[in-house]
Amino acid sequence: MSIELYWGSGSTPCWRVQLALAAKGLTHTSHLLSFAARETRTPAFLALNPRGKVPTLKDGDVVLNESIAILAYLDRAYPERPLFGATPAEAAQIWRFVMEFESHGGPAISAVTRPILFGPIEPGGEAITAALPALHAELDLLAERVTPGTMVGGQVSAADIVWFCGLQQLVRAATRPIAAPFQLGVWPFGHRWPTIVSWAQRLEAIPGYDATRPPHWSDGEHPAPSRMG
C-alpha cells in the first residue's frame, strides 16, 4: 500500500505524523495543503475528511484524521520500530503520557503561546503571566521524565513525539520579539531543563527529521528545541 499524507505547514498535529513516519522509516506521498488558500475546505478534501482538518492519512482504503489515531494506526499496520512500546506496561505508560499532553501539557503551552502567536494580547499580558506557573510545572515534570533519554522504554515513542512537537509551538512563541516583555523564563530550555535539551537532540537525530520541519518556519526564526544558549 502507499501512504498519502495531507498536511499543513506549521501544524503540530501534522508534525507528529510526519515525525512518526520518519521514526518508523515509512515513505509516503506528501500533499501539502495551504491554510491561506483554504485548501482544507475544497470539495475534494472534504470528501476525504468532512471535518476539513489535517493531518489526514490515506493508506489504501483506510482514511483517517486525528493525529494520535493515525499514530496508533501506523503502529499496528507497520509494526516494525514500534511507537507504542514492547510490553503492555510500556504501551499503557506511553498512552498515559500522550493523553497527559492532551489534558495538561498542551493546554498549558497553548495558554501562553496562543495570545503571542495569534493574539489578542490584553494590556499588561496578565493572562500570559498567570499561565506561566502551570507551564513551568509541566516542563519540570517533562524534564524529569526524559532524564533516562526517552520517556518510556529506551526507544523514541509516540509520547516523545507528541511532547516534542508540542514544544515546537513553545519555541516558536518564546523566540518571537513580541514575547520578550513577558519574561516567559522558558527559552532556551537548557537554562533550567538540561535534560530536555539532550532528549530533544535525540528526536532531532531521527533520520529525515529536517524534512519534517514546517517549510515556512525558517531556521533563523525557529531554532531547534535542543539549542543550548
Ligand X SMILES: N[C@@H](CCC(=O)N[C@@H](CS)C(=O)NCC(=O)O)C(=O)O
Distance, CA of 185 to chain centre: 21
Strand locations in 158-197 (E): none
The owner of cell 519534517 is: 212
User: Does the footprint of ligand X cover residue 67 (CB under 6 A)?
Assistant: yes
SS3 category, 183: coil
User: Does the footprint of ligand X cover residue 106 (CB under 6 A)?
Assistant: no
User: Does the footprint of ligand X cover residue 105 (CB under 6 A)?
Assistant: no
Nearest distance from C-beta of residue 39 to ligand X, angstroms: 9
Return the range that interacts with ligand X (CB under 6 A); candidates 7-15, 151-159, 183-191, 203-211: 7-15
- Closer CB to ligand X, 11 or 18, in the complex: 11
What is the rounded distance in angstroms from the CA atom of residue 165 to the CA atom of residue 116?
18
- Closer CB to ligand X, 5 or 197, in the complex: 5
C-alpha grid cell, residue 90: 510500556
Site string (21-60) toward ligand X, x via CB under 6 A: --------------x----x-----------xxxx-----
Nearest distance from C-beta of residue 188 to ligand X, angstroms: 25
Q: What is the DSSP string of 74-104?
A: HHHHS-SS-SS-SSHHHHHHHHHHHHHIIII
SS3 category, 58: strand
Of 3, 5, 6, 8, which one interacts with ligand X (CB under 6 A)? 8
- Closer CB to ligand X, 45 or 189, in the complex: 45
Which 152-181 positions form the footprint of ligand X (CB under 6 A)? none
Of 31, 66, 187, 222, which one interacts with ligand X (CB under 6 A)? 66
Q: Write the burial class of residue 224 (CB in 10 Å: 0-12 exposed, 13-18 middle, 19+ buried).
A: middle
- Closer CB to ligand X, 39 or 204, in the complex: 39
Q: What angle do CA 40, 158, 136 make, to 5 degrees?
A: 90
Nearest distance from C-beta of residue 13 to ligand X, angstroms: 3
What is the rounded distance in angstroms from the CA atom of residue 93 to the CA atom of residue 87?
10
- Closer CB to ligand X, 55 or 125, in the complex: 55
Where along the sequence are the contacts to ligand X (CB under 6 A)?
8, 11, 13, 35, 40, 52-55, 66-67
